[in-house]
Structure 1
């Protein structure tokens, strides 16, 4: 079974939310249209922390100390 057969009609993969459809994009699904929300609106309850100390240090140096952690895109519960 390939990975394409696991996707149901009307579902979006996390990579599609980040790369194919960006923030503010309108995505047409079979029975509705949806708008991709910005990261500040994504639920972080089911997101997995990414621990990469060197990258975090570099990002803090460039963007500021307010950056505390990296998270994966949220996944369904």
Structure 2
């Protein structure tokens, strides 16, 4: 799944704490998953000199997140992909329910809301909640 660039701004302190790698970043009526540092543009991430901590953790260097307005920023993915409409109560993948440019429901033109239910495994993988499988589990789907 290709990453996108979020136009919302997050402070550097937020990117190393609250909204770090793997976190869900809320932006207006949308939300995004912050990609791993292997997806970041290293040229825009200044090194942070901490030789003792680096030696203790067995790494060569620490890097700070890119500063706002410099380069490409932090790569993100739309997550969750499932949204719902508070008016017509439709639930489904974002691209099926809404207009990608406006983020509004195709049926009633109300702004779509991200589903706040997600599923995680013990290994830390995250996915949209499997609504269809959960609702139809008695049929063996």
Smaller-chain TM-score range? 0.5 to 0.7
Pick the structure with more strand per residue: 2
Larger Rg: 2
Q: Please identify which structure carries the higher helix content.
A: 1
Count of matched residue pairs? 62
Unaligned runs of 5+ in 2: 1-7, 71-141
- Alignment partners' CA distance in 1, 2:18 and 2:49: 26
- Contact map agreement 1:25 1:35 (CA 8 A) in 2: yes
Give the RMSD, CA atoms, in angstroms.
2.1
1:50 and 2:48 equivalent?
yes
1:54-75 Cα deviation digits (max 9, x unpaired): 2222222xxxxxx221111122
Structure 1 stretches of 4+ moved >4 Å: none
Higher relative contact order (CA 8 A, sep 6+): 1
Which residue pairs with 2:33 in the alignment?
35
TM-score by length of 1: 0.58
The aligned counterpart of 1:72 is 64
